[in-house]
Amino acid sequence: MSSKSPYKGAPPKYLNDFSKALASEVRILLQEVGKLRDERRQLQQEIAELMSVKAKHSGGGEFAGYLKPEPPPAPEAAPAPPAEPAPAIEAKPGWRTVHKKAERKPKAPKALPPPTPAPAPPPPPPAEKVPNWMTWRPNPLFEPTPSRFVAPLPVPPTPRPPGLFGVGDP
């Protein structure tokens, strides 16, 4: 702000009122921003805690074997190894198999009652003798009268003098 003020003495009352109202609004907004910052920090801490728990319980983590079922007890008598090697077990495919549905046979239409004959339409009324539009002629007795509110004809523009871009330029 400049040190020179256009007001001599105290500034006008409306400036004081406006600056007080503005200061209170800024205070309220700063409090809201502080609350939002605290909530954000709390959410980030919760996310970090959840991610650490996930890392501990996922594969290779601290509690990775904690929830796995116990292996079955070993059989007492081990069977003799087979003479032939066992066939390799195929892994299940990663994609699921979708079986195509059998096509549906169209349903037979329901039996409809026999159609009743529609009543015959009434004969069209006899056409009146209307003259063709091509044979129309204006009424010779009709004389249009000029309206009282006829606008004056526009004044035609004055002709251009010969010269640059005017009449007579080659």
* Contact partners, residue 125, CB within 8 Å, separation at least 6: none
Residue 115 forms part of a structural domain: no
Long-range contacts of 58-65 (CB under 8 A, 24+ apart): none
Confidence at residue 12, expressed as pLDDT on a 0 to 100 scale:
84
- Residue 34 tokens read as 């502080």
Residue 95 forms part of a structural domain: no
Separation CA 9–CA 97 (nearest Å): 89
Residue 54 forms part of a structural domain: yes
- Residue 117 tokens read as 């004959």
- Residue 166 tokens read as 């005017």
Residue 71 forms part of a structural domain: no
Residue 88 forms part of a structural domain: no
**How big is the chain, counted in residues?**
170
Model pLDDT for residues 8-58, shown as the tens digit of each residue: 777 888 888 999 999 999 999 999 999 999 999 999 999 999 998 888 877
145 or 166, greater pLDDT: 145
Separation CA 170–CA 166 (nearest Å): 10
Which amino acid is located at 51 in the chain? M
- The top-scoring range by mean pLDDT among 16-30, 66-80, 90-104, 152-166 is 16-30
Map tokens 């001599």 to a residue. Answer: 8
Mean pLDDT over each residue of the chain, to the nearest integer: 76
Residue 140 forms part of a structural domain: no
Residue 24 forms part of a structural domain: yes
Residue 63 forms part of a structural domain: no
Confidence at residue 21, expressed as pLDDT on a 0 to 100 scale:
93
Provide the domain limits for residue 34. Answer: 11-58
- Mean pLDDT of all residues in 120-126: 77
Q: What is the pTM assigned to this prediction?
A: 0.31
Which amino acid is located at 87 in the chain? P
Confidence at residue 94, expressed as pLDDT on a 0 to 100 scale:
72
Separation CA 34–CA 40 (nearest Å): 10
What is the total count of domains within the chain? 1
- Given a cut of 70, whether residue 168 has pLDDT beyond it is no
Separation CA 130–CA 113 (nearest Å): 46
Determine contact, residues 38/31, Cβ cutoff 8 Å.
Answer: no
